Amino acid sequence: MAIQFHPQPGTILICDFDGMKVPEMTKRRPVIVLSPNLKSRTGLCTVVPMSTTAPSRAQPYHYRLRTIPPLPAPYNADEHWVKADMIYTVSFVRLFLLFREKDAQGKRIYDQRVIDDADLLKVKEAALHGLGLTALTAYL
């Protein structure tokens, strides 16, 4: 079920990029929320995708994020690469909480994870590089 609220910046969610066209993201993958809840901008959230595959050559717009404990399967790796050159503003209908398991009564249990402030700052720095705004990183 899609989210019904604007998550705080740094929250890790799953985004369904179905319907996008290559070279855009085209499948489900973890993302990190960048945008705060902005007035008059309901139902939209700015995110940056993550991948378990390291880039062939790391660039300033990439950030290696340790995910300890690992995210739920199938995203269960000790680290992910933030691909901050691929920033998206997406509808809440594309965003889902990370599903961990079901309890004894069959109720879903979600992994509601928010990265720490130091990692979020590095993700924002990578996003500025990805937007070609490298000069602004000095102000972080």
pLDDT tens for 54-88 read 999 999 999 999 998 999 999 999 999 999 999 99
Token pair for residue 78? 């000790």
What pLDDT band is residue 40 in, cutting at 50, 70 and 90?
A: confident
Fold for the domain defined by 11-139: SH3 type barrels. (2.30.30)
Strand 62-66 and strand 79-83: the pairing is: antiparallel
Whole-prediction pTM:
0.94
What are the angstrom distances between the C-alpha of 121 and each of 1, 99, 124?
29, 26, 5
pLDDT for res 108: 87
Distance CA 90, CA 96 (A): 12
